Amino acid sequence: MSLLEISGLRKSYGPVEAIRDVSVSLRDGELVCLVGPSGCGKTTLLKCAAGLLAPSGGSVTLGGEPVTAPPPNLAVVFQEYGRSLFPWLTVRRNVELPLREKKVARAERDRLVSEALSAVGLADRGDAYPWELSGGMQQRVAIARAVAYQPSVLLMDEPFAAVDAQTRAELEDLIRSIWRTFGVTILFVTHDIDEAVYLGERVVVLSGSPTVVQETLTVDLPAERDQLTTRSDPRFTELRTHVYAEIQSAKKPTPAP
Amino acid sequence: MARVGAAGGAGVRVLRWFLLPLVLIGVWWAASAGGTNFYLPTPGAVLRAVGPTWTPATLRADVLPSVARLLAGFTVAGLVGVAAGVAIGLSPALRAYTEPVLEFLRAIPPPVLVPVVMLFAGIDNTMKVTVIVFGCVWPVLLNTIEGVRAVDPVLGEVCRAYRISGWTRLRTLVLRGASPQIMTGLRQALAIAIILMVISEMFAASSGLGFTIVQFQRGYAIPEMWTGIVLLGLLGVALAGLFGLGERVVLRWYFGLRRSGRGAP
């Protein structure tokens, strides 16, 4: 039984067809990466899945319920980390805000916030303001906010597109550890092929716009992943080469018969 | 060494603060000393007039009502301006309907309303507060509209995704997001409020700073008149200073964000 079901999703902006037909299904507890060439409507797809954008056709269901507005058991980590945190609230208040609105009792709220901040390694920065932190740390705060919200599904929209390579590697490992610790289902959108293969249990390769699913492949790498050994694993290289070739062919216009 | 440097820095800062005022007073002195111009007394004569003119009793009778009217007008204008600004800023439809009218009303110089408002509201405090409100609501209103429109759409999406709505959204997203522009509007409004306070009191009043200054001028009490003008200037500086303190508290995050050089604004 799938938890998040995107089926036959279409999205057009007036005459412009952005997404033609995308179906993706996530089982409970899965970590799936969506990868595709830039401009292929990944963000649009994710916003439709989050209930932030109404699709032109097809459907999204979460736990069997149709998604027409952002559901309470779904959290989003946005690409623009510098702009997705409230600069007038401290780190702790940023993480706490959705929980307050959810009417979570004070003691429980404190526990969830502390737990989430510890999980992202920012237990001692709760009183700082987001702009006092580096870009990578700001995205950690956004991840903590999502985790504290206790979603059953976590959607991530190219969350590491704007951080440097070293920070990015650390954050990738953080996602793997959070996924395993909290048992949350994650849909992770990226344009980075290595990142998709390194993180995902499955990788869904999207075509260029108008978007369709080009291929879905299972990443048969060991569950215990490590920046050094996993990335030098011949199987990793094979998979990334395969995805790379797929995306290159996806970028080309449909060949004439 | 550092301590000496810091003290020197403070000394230089104090000097910078007071240098120009001292020069200006010097120029005033040079222009008025030994002069026969009755209307331009020396700084000394004005200073000597301060004591007898501004006793605790006259301060209570004339400065207090002025300040009270000013603060009343400023507060009402602030509340009305922010409330209407948020409503108009959030609704494109409302904006389309109200924009031409706002442009017209804003273009009317507020002092011209003093005689008109007198007809409706008489010459009591209501008239003066009304004039102040009418004059200084515009910068608050227009800046709030702009501020609300400029709230980062990414944060708006964050609110939707995390189901933050209603009052929390208004307070945490809209008002805080627009607060830098709201404060700019309030700062402009404060300056206008002082001007309108004086003008409304010059037209018709039985107390207040504007009234007193006109009384002195009519009675040829020239040094006393000048003390009133200086007092008005000092009042303006004090209010701006207090406002600045409040602003530093409310916009602490904003100044920090700008200093850090991160983020959009």
Handedness of CA B259, B174, B160, A47 (dihedral sign): negative
**Range list for CATH 3.40.50.300 in chain A:** 1-73+152-257
Record: contact A131-B262, CB cut-off 8 A: yes
User: Which secondary structure element, helix H or strand E, spans residue B170, and what is its range?
Assistant: none
Q: Chain B residues with CB inside 8 Å of A101's CB?
A: 162-165, 168
Q: Please, what is the Cα angle at B157 between A31 and A189, to 5 degrees?
A: 25
Higher confidence at residue B8 or residue A190? A190
pLDDT at B7 exceeding the cut of 70: no
Mean pLDDT score, B118-122 = 76
Task: Give the residue ranges of DSSP H helices in chain B.
Answer: 2-32, 43-53, 56-58, 64-90, 92-107, 113-121, 125-149, 153-161, 166-168, 176-203, 209-218, 222-250, 252-260
Residues 6+ apart with CB under 8 A from B20: none
Give me the residue from B158, B165, B262 closest to A82, CB to CB. Answer: B262
Q: Which amino acid is at A75?
A: A
Pick out chain A residues at pLDDT < 50. 255-257
Domain A1-73+152-257 has CATH 3.40.50.460: no
ipTM of the complex: 0.90
Instruction: Map tokens 């004591």 to a residue.
Output: B51
**Model confidence pLDDT, tens digit, residues B79-92:** 999 999 999 999 99
Collapsing DSSP to helix, strand or coil, A154 comes out as strand
Q: B253, A102: Cβ pair inside 8 Å?
A: no
| Closest residue to B161, CB basis, from A76, A83, A86 | A76
Distance CA B130, CA B254 (A): 33
**pLDDT for the residue numbered A65:** 92
Q: Which of A13, A192, A157, A150 is nearest to A77 (CA)?
A: A157
φ and ψ at residue A69, rounded to 5 degrees? -140, 165
At residue B146, does pLDDT exceed 60?
Answer: yes
Q: Which residue has the higher pLDDT, B261 or B76?
A: B76
Nearest-5° angle of CA A126, CA A130, CA A133?
90
Whether residues A87 and B161 touch (CB distance < 8 A) is answered with no
Q: Look up the pTM and report it.
A: 0.86
Average pLDDT over residues B11-23: 87
- Taking contacts as CB-CB distances below 8 angstroms, the residues of chain B near A70 are 160-163
| Residue from the list A74, A76, A86 with its beta carbon closest to the beta carbon of B155 | A86
